A and B are shown apart, each in its own frame.
Chain A
Amino acid sequence: MAGVTVVSGVTDPGDVTIISGISIFHTGVTLVDFNGGGPTPPTTVYFLSRTSSALDLQPSSLSIDSSGNISVFGLNGSSGLGGVNSGLLIKLTPSGGLSVSDTLNPANGNSYGMQDSSGNYYITYTFATPYCCCGAIYYDVYSDLIKLDSSFNRIGELLNTVGYTYYPFKPPFLDNSGNIWTQVDFYGDSYYLSLIKYNSALTSITSYDYNVSFTYWINTLAAAVTSTNQLIAAGTYLDAAGCCVTSAYALIQSVPTATPSATPTWTLWDASGSIGDFNAIALDSSNNIYASLRYYNFPSNNWLGKINANGTLPLAWQRTYIGITRILSMATDSSDNVYAIGLTTSGTALAIIKVSSSGTLSFSRTLTAASGSIGSPTIKVNGDIMYISAVYYTAAATRDVLVFKVPTDGTLTQTVSVGGVNFTYALGGITSSTPSVTLSSRAGIPFTATALPTQVVTSTVNSLTASQAVTVL
């Protein structure tokens, strides 16, 4: 098949490096790489990579380095807490060739990653250890943050030793002081979402949340840092009585990253408590905020609005999009266009829109598989290319990695065959309309800071390199 390169990693037990109970080894992932094989020459503007192995790969996030290499993070394995999964890290060359595939082991779930401007990796994941209590087996679940350099040498690691249940659910991000932030599900005595801040030296962890006996609390579903080092936290403010949530207010606020528990600089919410919750945000070059709502009563269950950088109202604009049922990830380009990706109404395909900074829908596209489903997308934009990672699956435990690279000008529509499955990137059939959501300012709600006990992981530096990790057939 023209333009197809088959690259295979190998599983070599002799290369397994045991480092204080955490091993880093090859996965044996096989990627089928389509690079420029489609009918849209001459530019190599897209590729699809999909495993053909029987592994259960669940990409969760991706990053693009300064050379255009693509790194995909996620999980391999579908075991529950009693089993052992692996954190997944696959590095692709700009043209889609497999560079490195590694796993971080053990990881019982929820592995996410990102890269800084120097190419260092920050990967957060959970792993569990069992214990017996009252005749039953329970698990302590720990969140871990590992820092690797661009060659995958481990240069730092910090473990949250609170044996409660912290599950990362979004990729880490950095503030302008080098601190690393993660977002976690907390399943201790009850359930809420917290922000976790690691200092740059990886010696301390502080959680930031707001929780008054589960009568009032905030779930932070999306967060980012502005160029002025403000933390933008978006999600839901919840009221509860007895067993149940009585009201849920979409809420977004801005607070200095240096003092996250101070009174927020500004806070906006939906005072009616009826429009859902903010679930994804992206910032433009002027720190304006594009925020999406997950909501059930608009014509298409989604809402996208532009919030001014200083939180002043009214909103710059707001839209809802017919044909998308959930916006799940967003990114911006250097011209402040916003790209949003979500699920189509079938729930099994991806919908992608490009919207100008003034709210004009530039184009919509869908990515559909002829058989099977695509889900869990993440989008990044670098230069004039958007990068999308997603899960492709036909069954729950045989999921594959899908990486898609496409120009931001909308010039490409194409069907390609990957592993015997046709994937079609085509006009999206999505329309926009203007809803009438009203946000209002409210008194800020300070987060509570809690220092968490930690364990610095100091061990032999792993020396796995790209040349060791891949065998090209």
Chain B
Amino acid sequence: MNFLKLSTMQYPLQEGDIRLDYPEIPEDQTGDYFTVPADYVSVEQTTPPNHDPKTQYLSQSTPVQVNGVWQSVWVVNDFTAEALAIFAALDNPPKRPQRPQRPSTNVDGSPPNVIA
């Protein structure tokens, strides 16, 4: 669940953020049982819009109130060229040079002498 702080319109906030202001909320009141303080409201998540996840990403702007219910507002953004380059490097690490097959021992049968 994501929350909006009405006094500042700060969004998104989560339970842990609210507990910093209200440490008296019992730890076992969590998830569906979390008591939302009066100056916060929970935000209903609307259906994400279609987008191309390879070149675009979604974010959320300040929620809006529709028929008394606070709802999320989606924004479709383009990844920057820098971001795309970083993600491509993460997902496709450079292939190292292949090597021709070579015996795993020296001519005399000893292990390769990689440590002098």
Contact = CB atoms under 8 A, between A and B. Distances in A.
By secondary structure, the B interface counts as loop
Interface stretch (A63-71, A195-203, A258-266, A340-348): A340-348
Given A299-B53, A346-B80, A411-B20, A159 B102 contact: no
Interface string B84-101: 111100110101111111
Interface in B45-82: 45, 48, 51, 53-54, 57-60, 72, 77, 79-80, 82
Nearest to A360: B31
Q: Interface size class for chain B? A: 35 or more
B51 to A, nearest CB: 8
A323 interface: yes
A364 B30 contact: no
Nearest to B91: A294
B91 to A, nearest CB: 7
B115 A457 contact: yes
A209 B100 CA distance: 22
Interface in A39-58: none
Interface stretch (A1-9, A129-137, A239-247): A129-137
Contacts of B95: 187, 191
Contact of A410 (B10, B16, B79, B99): B16
30 contacts: A129-B112, A138-B100, A139-B99, A140-B102, A161-B111, A163-B102, A164-B99, A185-B93, A187-B98, A299-B48, A299-B57, A300-B58, A301-B53, A322-B59, A326-B90, A345-B57, A345-B83, A346-B80, A348-B83, A360-B15, A361-B2, A361-B14, A363-B16, A364-B14, A409-B16, A410-B20, A431-B2, A431-B60, A455-B111, A455-B115
Interface of A: 20-22, 81, 127, 129, 131, 133-134, 138-142, 159, 161-165, 167, 185, 187-189, 191, 294, 296-301, 322-323, 325-326, 343, 345-348, 354, 356, 358-364, 373, 375, 409-411, 427, 429-433, 453, 455, 457
